[in-house]
Amino acid sequence: MLRRIVFGLAVVTLSATSVFAQTPAAPAAAAPNPFVFNGDGGVILNFVKADKTADFEMVLGKLKDALVKSDKPERKAMAAGWKVFKADEPGPGGAAIYVFVMDPVAKGAEYSVGNILVEVFAAEGQALYKTYSDAYANPAIGALLHLSKVLELK
Domains and CATH numbers, the chain: 41-147 (3.30.70)
What element of type H or E holds 95?
none
What is the pTM (predicted TM-score) of this model?
0.78
Question: What pLDDT does residue 1 have?
Answer: 38
- Rounded CA gap, 145 and 154, in Å? 23
Question: What pLDDT does residue 26 have?
Answer: 62
Question: What pLDDT does residue 40 have?
Answer: 95
Question: What pLDDT does residue 29 have?
Answer: 74
pLDDT tens per residue, the chain (154 residues)? Answer: 334 433 343 333 334 334 334 455 666 777 889 999 999 999 999 999 999 999 999 999 999 999 998 889 999 999 999 999 999 999 999 999 999 999 999 999 999 999 999 999 999 999 999 999 999 999 988 889 999 999 999 8
Question: What pLDDT does residue 69 have?
Answer: 86
Please state at what angle helix 123-134 crosses helix 113-121, rounded to 10 degrees.
150
Question: What pLDDT does residue 123 have?
Answer: 93
Helices (H), 23-112: 53-69, 73-81
DSSP bridge pairs for 143: 45
User: Prior bond to 32 cis, omega within 30?
Assistant: no
Q: How far apart are the two ends of the chain, measured CA to CA in Å?
A: 84
- Rounded CA gap, 127 and 118, in Å? 9
What element of type H or E holds 34?
none
